[in-house]
Amino acid sequence: MAEQTVTAEGREIAERVGRFVREVVVPYERDSRWGAHGPSPEMVEEMRGQARAAGVMTPHIPQGGRHLSHRDTAIVLEAAGFSPLGPVAVNVAAPDEGNMYLLGRVATAEQKAHFLQPLLEGRVRSAFLMTEPAEDNGAGSDPSMLRTAAERDGDHWVISGRKCLTSGLLGARVGIVMARTGDAATMFLVDLPDPAIRIEHVPDTLDSTLPGAHPSSRIDRLRVPASAVLGEVGQGFRYAQVRLSPARLTHCMRWLGACERAQQIACDYAVRRHAFGKPLVDHEGVGFKLAENRIALQQCRLMIDWCAGVLDSGAAGTTESSMAKVAVSEALFRVADNCVQVMGGTGVTGDTIVEQVFREVRAFRIYDGPTEVHLWSLAKRIKKETLGRQHP
């Protein structure tokens, strides 16, 4: 198969998205409607209305539902990530972006019309209900521990269980519920809100960009028709991997854009701020941090491009996306930390977006699989490959 490259179309879309985020979205960062649990519904709709008018709504899936290549998507989402609010404004934020990707590949025509189309238009939000409370010993990084169960009842399924840390659940209109069906798992599409899904707790978290917070909920005999099954019964774990490999990478794309922004702010500060007789940037302890950041950002970009190329080839990219997620999340955390350090007291205030980016990237090291889980999985693969290798 011929190697995929970034296209002229991708570059043009990325340029338009970047310009929109810089000129329209960045001013919203001072909007009082952006609170501890994300921007308000009114603020989200206001930003998205401007995105529609500018022709940058859901830019990675142009009219007709054709998805850009992963390499093109990378530069578009990096441009959107220049502001933490950018992905929300142009409808490329998690969990909606990953859910749209999954529905586009697995859903029936009827399901796409009912659930996917409103998501593509940015008129509703979605939630992916898989993670379960630790006190229940439920599914987290290990999805095989899934405790929420679905039982067949004639032409319907009845689902019961508890979920937690469900990003965007408050105000979501589309739900994808993962439940155990016998020895396997199945995904179900649900219209939200539903009285059978009751919010139990809304925790405060490090991150505060995504609307809808990260609530815990109880599912009490949720009754759905057989037509609510996403894909095939018993294939939930497989579909989770269809969603997760690209979703891990799109997280990397978005936060690369945010950390590029933080680097720009820190560089500007270091050039203008003087101490001990010269600009901060001329002190090696400061200048070297910014130089290391420049290297790390380029390494992240290359890692993303490599993994995107693997996905564009048609491969599942499970191992490659794990590698990229670890490398990029850890590197970007160091970049954000360096930016805070370079800016000193200003870096820990809300006077710039740097402090926000630092907190958000810290959370990135955990969601879609903590670094340690990915390293453990990679180590198991290394062991298997090494033991299976023929030695002379």
Q: What would the DSSP string read from start to end of 201-267?
A: E----S---STT---EEEEEEEEEEGGGEESSTT-HHHHHHHHHHHHHHHHHHHHHHHHHHHHHHHH
pLDDT value of residue 2 = 41
Check pLDDT > 50 for residue 61. yes
pLDDT value of residue 391 = 62
Residue-wise pLDDT for 4-18, tens only, equals 689 999 999 999 999
Is residue 33 within 8 Å of residue 3, measured between CB atoms? Answer: no
pLDDT value of residue 66 = 86
- Taking CA 250 as the corner, what is the angle to CA 188 and CA 260, rounded to the nearest 5 degrees? 150
The structure's pTM equals: 0.93
The matching CATH number, chosen from 2.40.110.10, 3.30.300.30, 2.60.40.3080, 2.60.120.260, for 126-232 is 2.40.110.10
Residue-wise pLDDT for 110-155, tens only, equals 999 999 999 999 999 999 999 999 999 999 888 889 999 999 999 9
Check pLDDT > 90 for residue 27. yes
- Top CATH class, 8-93: mainly alpha
The H-or-E segment that residue 178 falls in is: strand 174-181
Residue-wise pLDDT for 65-94, tens only, equals 789 999 999 999 999 999 999 999 999 999
Domain boundaries, the chain: 8-93, 126-232, 237-388
Query: Based on the number of CB atoms within 10 Å of its own CB, is 274 exposed (0-12), middle (13-18) or buried (19 or more)?
Result: exposed
CA distances for 15 relative to 56, 172, 234, 303, angstroms: 10, 30, 42, 21
Tell the residue number behind the tokens 């023929």, with chain if given: 390
Alpha helices in 318-353 (DSSP H): 318-342, 344-347
pLDDT-based confidence at residue 1 (cuts at 50, 70, 90): very low
80/241: higher pLDDT = 80
For 175, list phi and psi in degrees, rounded to 5.
-120, 140
What does the pLDDT average to over 369-381?
94
Fold for domain 237-388? Butyryl-CoA Dehydrogenase, subunit A; domain 3 (1.20.140)
Separation CA 210–CA 305 (nearest Å)? 25
